[in-house]
Amino acid sequence: MQKRQLLNIKALSLAIVALFAVPLASGGNKAVPRLIFPVVGPVTYTNDFGAPRGRLPHQANDIMAAKKSPVVAVEDGKISFWTRSASAGCMLYLYGRSGTMYEYIHLNNDRTMKNDNKGKCVAGTAYAKGLKNGARVKAGQQIGYVGDSGDANGIAAHLHFELHPRGGRAVSPYRYLKRGRVLLFAATRGAAVSLTLKGKLVEADSSSQTLSMRLTSLSTSTGLRLNKLSRKLTLELSPDTLATDNSGSDLSPDDLDSLASGAAIKVTTMRAPATLAAELGSPLALTSSSVTIPA
Ligand SMILES: [Zn+2]
C-alpha cells in the first residue's frame, strides 16, 4: 500500500514536471516576437544593458515612468509573482508563449503617490487588480504598476525590464523595446470604456468620416489619466457626433471640416468594449461621440 502510494506520488510529480516542461520545450525554438511595449504612458529609457551596477553588469533596460503607470504583458503567456527578493522588491516573471521569459522588477509598493512603502507585493498595489499568481495573460493585458520597490526605493520610479530568449541568459531588450507596439491606454479587455482625448486637430473630414488629431492628454472612464502625450490618432468620425464650440453652440459637419489644422480640440469616444486595437489606438478603432472646439 505504502509502495503504491509512493509510486502514485512519483507518477504525479512526473506529470507536474511534464506540465511545466512542455510549454518551454514547444516554444523553445521560436524567436522573440514583436512585443507590446511594457509600460503605458510617457517613458524615457536608454540602452543601459551591461552598465556597471554593483556586483553584476545591468541585466535590463530601466524604463523611467510616472509612479503607478500601467505595466502590461509584452506577449501572451503565464505570470508568476516573486515577492522575496530584497533587491528586486515586488517583481513578476512572464513566461511568454514564444519561450522568451521576461522579468518585471521594482513594481509599486506605495499606497499613496508618496514613497510610503506601505503597500505589499499584492494585486491592486504591485500587480494588476484581481490578477492571480500563475494566471495566463494576453499581450497588452495590465499585469502591474510601475514603482520603486526593492533597491530602487526612493530613487525615481521605473520598470527594470529583462528579456531572456528561450528562458536563457538575459540579452539587451533595447531593440525589442524600440520596435514595441505602444498602447494608448490599458483597460480590462472587453470592458466598456469611453475616452476623453485632448489635443490639436490635424484634419476632420465628414465625407470620409475620419478625424485625425495630435493627442496631448487622455483620460478613460475607468480612471486612467495620462498627460504629456504626443502621438497622432485617427478616429472614426461618427455622423451622430455631437459637435459644439466652447459656448455650447452646435457645429455642423461643414464647420468641423473647415476648422484649421492646429485648433485645440476635445473628443470623447463612444463607450465600447476595450479591444487590443482600441488600446493600441489603431486607425479607426475608436469612434467619436462628441467633439468640442474652444470658441
Ligand atoms: Zn535596472
| Domain limits, the chain | 43-178, 192-293
**Which residues of the chain are under the pLDDT cut of 70?**
1-29, 295
43-178 against 192-293: fold identical: no
CA 49 to ligand 1 center in whole angstroms: 8
Cell of 295: 470658441
| pLDDT confidence of residue 248 | 85
Q: Where are the beta strands (DSSP E) in the chain?
A: 43-44, 52-53, 56-57, 61-65, 70-72, 77-85, 89-96, 101-107, 136-137, 142-145, 158-164, 192-193, 195-205, 210-220, 225-226, 231-236, 242-245, 264-269, 272-273, 288-293
CA 165 to ligand 1 center in whole angstroms: 18
CA 168 to ligand 1 center in whole angstroms: 18
| pLDDT confidence of residue 7 | 44
CA 158 to ligand 1 center in whole angstroms: 8
Query: Is domain 192-293 in CATH 2.40.50.320, yes or no?
Result: yes
CA 151 to ligand 1 center in whole angstroms: 9
Query: Is domain 43-178 in CATH 2.70.70.10, yes or no?
Result: yes
CA 77 to ligand 1 center in whole angstroms: 23
Q: What pLDDT digit, counting tens, does each position of 7-35 carry?
A: 454 444 444 444 444 444 444 457 999 99
| pLDDT confidence of residue 23 | 44
